[in-house]
Amino acid sequence: MSSRQYRKKIILWVFIAAMSLTAACGGGTAGTKTGGPSGTAAAGTEPVVLQNVSYDPTRELYADYNKAFAAYWQGKTGQSVTVKQSHGGSGKQARSVIDGLQADVVTLALAYDIDAIQQAGLIKEGWQTRLKDNSAPYYSTIVFLVRKGNPKGIRDWNDLVQPGVQVITPNPKTSGGARWNYLAAWGYALAASGGDEEQAKEWLRGLYGNVPVLDSGARGATTTFVERGIGDVLISWENEAFLAANELGKDEFEIVVPTVSILAEPPVAVVDGTVDKRGTRKVAEAYLEYLYTEEGQEIAAKHYYRPRLEKVAAEYGQRFPQVKLLTIHDQFGGWAQAHKKHFADGALFDEIYRR
């Protein structure tokens, strides 16, 4: 066979292979579904798969926790459980669930995002009272991460608006964590101005005037601060600040706790629409309840989330300094209010940037 003929043959075969593949896959894709156990699976001892849709900073936490829960559940019921994780920006994750991502449980950055899922009809009303502590098994707060030796002498919120100080914080319109940052700052400014909103707004304008990069997510902001070396101070979740200080750059950063901050409660909820369809309610509820047990609290504390359980809190007491914490409920009248006033299009945050 001459090489020309040979080549022709090859091309023909490639073509035929392509054709048949297409036919095969055309049939294949149509029938593809996400695998899930049938309704009976959860009750018996057949393996069960749970889908946990979470936000960015909880990756390490749930990687550990899922193992612990699997062992606990196996021991208790004899059923093996695998928890699949999905992480991303809190708002984006909530949107994916609303648009059809099959989550059994959601563990997001703020109640506002779970409220949005509730409004789409996937979670029943009153979800936040179903579990203890506003359905937030662990909590955190907002602190500052500064460079070693604190060269700019940052002690409290007011130091952030000084000229020449560069502040890194993500965009509150795209990042759940950044909303906590913003609200903590607003709480401070309002208290400092004695409740004068115009003055507080001016103060915030000064703060965001010192922000050179507005990353779209909390993790992006940490990377900008730590890896790119930009900025003098990072406003961040306490757990993220610990992670950066202890694991990303040992002895390169210090944590500064301001005089006042916000009680940041990342809530959890079972997605009723999914668990009822898949028959996973029992294991999903147990999954969230286990977070409140000593083992669950221990894992949360290990990953720098503040535990609720007295005993564990005492054990990790020296790690988490006492600080006056504002709450979203008392200070802002809940998330819906806060969102409307601060983050909606044309609201306060947009005004700060309007020229």
User: What is the contact surface with another protein in residues (CB under 8 A)?
Assistant: 8, 11-12, 15, 18-19, 21-22, 25, 29-30, 32-34, 51, 56, 59-60, 84-89, 91-93, 95-96, 98-102, 116, 120, 171, 173-174, 211-217, 219-220, 222-223, 226-230, 243, 247-248, 343-346, 350, 353-355
For residue 216, the minimal CB distance to another protein (Å) is 6
Nearer to another protein, 202 or 315 (CB): 202
What's the closest the beta carbon of residue 22 comes to another protein, in angstroms?
5
Nearest CA-CA partner of 284 in 100, 98, 130: 130
Residue closer to another protein (CB basis): 170 or 307 = 170
Q: How near is the Cβ of 155 to another protein at its closest, in Å?
A: 26
Closer Cβ to another protein, 11 or 314, answer by number? 11
Nearer CB in complex with another protein: 82/259:
82
Closest approach of another protein to the CB of residue 27, in Å: 11
96 vs 327 by CB, closer to another protein = 96
Shortest Å, Cβ 133 to another protein: 26
Query: Is the CB of 54 or the CB of 261 nearer to another protein?
Result: 54
| Smallest gap from residue 53 Cβ to another protein (A) | 8
Length, in residues, of the chain: 355
Could you tell me if 297 and 312 are in contact, meaning their C-beta atoms sit under 8 angstroms apart? yes
Closest CB to another protein among 44 and 212? 212
Identity of the residue, 21 or 314, whose beta carbon is nearer to another protein in the bound complex: 21
Tell the smallest beta-carbon distance from residue 318 to another protein (Å). Answer: 25
Residue with smaller CB distance to another protein, 101 or 313:
101
* Shortest distance in whole angstroms from residue 170 CB to another protein: 9
**Three-state secondary structure readout of the chain:** CCHHHHHHHHHHHHHHHHHHHHHHHHHHHHHCCCCCCCCCCCCCCCCEEEEEEECHHHHHHHHHHHHHHHHHHHHHHCCCEEEEEECCCHHHHHHHHHCCCCCCEEECCCHHHHHHHHHCCCCCCCHHHCCHHHHCCEEECEEEEEECCCCCCCCCHHHHHCCCCCEECCCCCCCHHHHHHHHHHHHHHHHHCCCCHHHHHHHHHHHHHCCCCCCCCHHHHHHHHHCCCCCCEEEEEHHHHHHHHHHHCCCCEEEECCCEEECECCCEEECHHHHHHHCCHHHHHHHHHHHHCHHHHHHHHHCCCEECCHHHHHHCHHHCCCCEEECHHHHHCCHHHHHHHHHCCCCHHHHHHCC
Half-sphere exposure (Cβ direction) of 17: Cα atoms closer than 13 Å: 6
First-to-last alpha carbon distance for the chain, in angstroms, is 75
What's the min distance (Å) between Cβ of 194 and another protein? Answer: 29
Q: Beta partners for 261?
A: 325
